[in-house]
Amino acid sequence: MEKRPFATKDQLEAIAEQFPTPFHLYDEAGIRRNMEALRDAFSWNEGYKEYFAVKATPNPFLIKILQEYGCGCDCSSYTELMLSDACGVRGHDIMFSSNETPAADYVLADKLGAIINLDDITHIDFLEQTIGSIPETISCRYNPGGLFEISNGIMDNPGDAKYGMTTEQLYEAFRILKQKGAKHFGIHAFLCSNTVTNDYYPKLAEVLFKLAVDLQRETGAHISFINLSGGIGIPYESGQEPNDIRVIGEGVRRVYEDVLVPAGMGDVALYTELGRFMLGPYGCLVTRAIHEKHTHKDYVGVDACAVNLMRPAIYGAYHHITVAGKEDVPCDHVYDVVGGLCENSDKFAVDRALPEVVPGDLLVIHDTGAHGHSMGYNYNGKLRSAEVLLREDGSAQLIRRAETPADYFATLDCFDDYSYLAHKPERI
């Protein structure tokens, strides 16, 4: 499927007049369509709930859109819990999945009434000592080890991941938690990342459903939910076939009826924790070409950098790039598209075929709606960009302002010699 921006060149130029580049832009209409498709795909399961992975795009305006469809929040830190609470998401609408967890995080999760998902068997005692008891509803994260394979081949290597309990630990954890007063149990697993296949979730479901049947029989623990977590990916490259969430939902339903229903467990609720799938394709980084350089290679220099989108720099990740207004112009030039950091890895694309790019052109870097702005940082004193929502009516709403030098220096306000920097105007 060919990738094209969800906003026209004229729309982008108008938005850039209000909010200077670079900025992350999100497509409200696309987000809503996708959420409706997910909801419909799992409507056969009465207890189904999507816990949006806050880490992917921690913006309250976007969280509140998803909340309209009954979404909860998947949180992994103290500040993500705070954000969820600020959005009015509390109680069992929060799934707290963390690792190497500080005591303060567990205290806040308990205070908000979140479902706590334990990453390790040693966290049972740590949680009990921290909050004084074991909650009646509790979840444990599972890691079967080895390689995770489906018909398409090896998908990932859970045995090399730091997350989750071994099979033996999981059984022991359920017995201990039950003895300590837990009444309702959940199983959680994240075994593959960014899969672009309709087979991953049904295969994962089969593993977890069979495990759940055996766990309930062997430990007597009542399993009330199974959390398939994330892992449903998006097609970053043009021409890739996207996942079909309806096919995925139907595949999970068949396994549910084959495994859980005959075991008398047809009341088990299914949860998901999707981030990339929920928002990834419905965000883009809009940046302007400001320089061109012709040395040993041809370069396009833009006003964004890895601070705004670090995935290409740290993973070598591919993000499709469109030159706004030149969607149908032949890609007969080859460029490295680079930012201004003092790091040679600060490249959005290497040897990328594009139409001719001249300073002033707007470039749209696709699929940044998840793990885009949220992974930003401040190396070289670069400042993180604004976030803008393209509303269904075509208007643009600022949903996070761009950082200023005052933000960068704010943590020096405890020192008299430097506190003035946090109160300086943008330009000295």
Residues belonging to the active site: 342
Tokens of 345: 């890895």
- Cis check: omega of the bond before 22, within 30 degrees of 0: yes
For 188-223, give one letter per residue: b (16+ CB within 10 A) or e: bbbbbebbbbbbbbbbbbbbbbebbbebbeebebeb
Strands 283-294 and 298-302: antiparallel
How many Å apart are CA 18 and CA 39, to the nearest integer?
Answer: 35
Residue 241 backbone phi and psi in degrees, to 5: -80, 125
Closest CA to 321 of 347, 297, 298: 347
Tokens of 44: 């056969």
| The residue to which tokens 């007049």 are assigned | 17
Kindly tell me the burial class for residue 139, based on how many C-beta atoms sit within 10 Å of its own C-beta (0-12, 13-18, 19 or more): buried
How many Å apart are CA 8 and CA 338, to the nearest integer?
Answer: 23
